[in-house]
Amino acid sequence: MGVEIREKADDWSGLKDEEFEKVMNQEMEEDMTVMAVEQKDRSLNLGIVGIGQAGNKIAKEFYDQGYPVALINTALQDLKLVDVPERFKLFLDSTLGGTARDLQTGEDAVVEYQEAILDMMKDSFEPCEMLLLAASLGGGTGSGGAFKMVETMAQLGKPIMVMAILPMASEDTLAKHNAITTLARLSELAKNGVINALFVVDNARIELIHSGLSLPDFWKVSNASIVAPLHLFNKLSSQASPYVSLDPMDFSRLLVGQTGCALYGMTKVFNYADDEGAIAEAVVNNLESGLLAGGFDLAETKSAGVIVVGSAQTLKKIPASNLEYGFACVNKITQQSTRIFRGIYEQETGDDALYIYSIFSGLGLPQQRVEELKIEAEAHMKALEQKEDNKENMTIDMGKSKVVSASDQIYNKIKNKNSAMGKIMGNKRITDLRRK
């Protein structure tokens, strides 16, 4: 702004002092007004932390929408691949690279470099009102580090949301074991109010919804579809409406102080004029078949928000009673003990459809999905125990009743700090890519 005013000052050289001051003040006021409007294009300025490969990609989607981000990973090659400025990346050089899906290794990396992580977040998120952590629960860096990341983020004194991503159906039982173990720990933090909103995104559902896409398109589309509804709800709730506004405080109440899980979604409705139940049906169907985990009990909802968006032509076609009936049905679904925040906005959408955005918060865990993960996790542990017990195929008969376990020897050697592996793993230090 200052540079632009100095450039314009060359054209004002002929003005008298008082005229110059008046014009300059007017220009500065106009610029400040523009800045204020630009800064209020969303209800909450969210700071996004992505840990692990999947978390980094989600953070990248938020970055593309203008949010401040911090990308943290133990795998340098994955971190380099994400197209955001290097100053927003933090490489934890605590292993050979990655965590081999080991939860303890992921947690240890965060603990070891907790101060550096905290410093990075202080630099990036000072103006933010709320923080969001994105992590996949099936790997090692994201799942192993998620619990300690929340504890670290809590030191900033800002409300925290967590976007926990469950494994695909096609992933192995180790991924599901990691997921249920980490989800249990995060649930305790949500229960105790350390996490204000826990979003459980289900990759198994995304796998079905976008099954026809190629591999590159699949991840691009699925990551965007995870981020878009929450971002657009944040953006729409900051805008005025000639009908009904869901304002920034309403949006904040949906996410803060509810404790537990939260659901969000976006859907389109075309038969809005003919069917008075179309809006309510669309909201429920979207939550039941959307990207987030299924099996939630919507009757547990403490707060709900529904935003309806349509073009001027579309809104003119819809009977007001249909909208009211839709909101009333949402209230009934949540057993009428819920605060329902509503918004109706007029925007050009490019088609003759109503766009409906919804958030339900204060929910318990998605029990059906949790039970499925528990069964598969137990199967993994049982199979692993059987393999650990069966060491006969790794023993060598040395004669004279002397038996040596090859696996035990290798394990003990790696544990020894003086071994070659111990030397490789030792003397690691953090590499902060922001300073490069």
Q: Which of 211-225, 384-398, 404-418 has the lowest mean pLDDT?
A: 404-418
pLDDT-wise least confident of 355-359, 376-380, 424-428: 424-428
Angle between helix axes 173-191 and 141-154 (nearest 10 degrees) is: 10
What mean pLDDT, rounded, does the chain reach? 79
pTM, rounded to two decimals = 0.77
pLDDT digits (tens, 9 = 90+) for 141-172: 888 899 999 999 999 999 999 999 988 777 77
Cα four-point dihedral sign 232, 233, 237, 243: positive
User: Per-residue pLDDT tens for 392-419?
Assistant: 555 555 554 444 445 455 545 555 555 4
Q: Which residue has the higher pLDDT, 207 or 187?
A: 187
Nearest Cα neighbor of 55 from 95, 89, 100 is 89
For residue 41, the tally of other CB atoms under 10 A from its CB is: 11
What's the pLDDT band for 6 if we cut at 50, 70, 90? Answer: very low
Measuring CA to CA, how many Å separate 148 from each of 25, 106, 186? Answer: 49, 10, 10
Residue 153 lies in a domain: yes
Helices (H), 40-113: 52-64, 76-81, 103-112
Please count the structural domains in the chain: 1
Q: In angstroms, rounded to a whole number, what is the distance separating the alpha carbons of residues 199 and 298?
A: 14
Cα distance between residue 117 and residue 31, in whole Å: 35
Instruction: Quote the pLDDT of residue 142.
Output: 85
Count CB neighbours of 348 within 10 A.
11
Q: How far apart are CA 267 and CA 119, in angstroms?
A: 39
| Of residues 161, 165, 166, the one with CA closest to residue 132 | 161
Q: What domain range includes position 123?
A: 46-232
8 Å CB contact between 175 and 52? no
What percent of the chain shows pLDDT beyond 70? 76
Mean pLDDT of 212-237: 87
Give the pLDDT confidence of 267-303 residue by residue, as tens digits. 888 887 777 778 878 877 766 655 566 678 888 888 8
Q: What is the DSSP letter of 262?
A: E
Report whether pLDDT(13) > 50. no
- On whether residue 210 sits in a domain, the answer given is yes
Q: Is residue 240 part of a domain?
A: no
Task: Using pLDDT thresholds of 50, 70 and 90, give the confidence band for residue 110.
Answer: very high
Give phi and psi for 50, each to the nearest 5.
Answer: -115, 120
Average pLDDT over residues 207-217: 75
In a domain, 172, yes or no: yes
* Domain membership flag for residue 276: no
123 inside domain: yes
Q: What is the pLDDT of residue 202?
A: 81
CATH code, domain carrying 59: 3.40.50.1440
Closest CA to 119 of 70, 78, 82: 70
Instruction: Say yes or no to pLDDT of 134 above 70.
Output: yes
- Please report whether residue 20 resides in a domain: no
* Residues 80-99: tens digit of each pLDDT: 999 999 999 999 987 777 77
Is residue 1's pLDDT more than 50? no
**Could you tell me if residue 390 is inside a domain?**
no
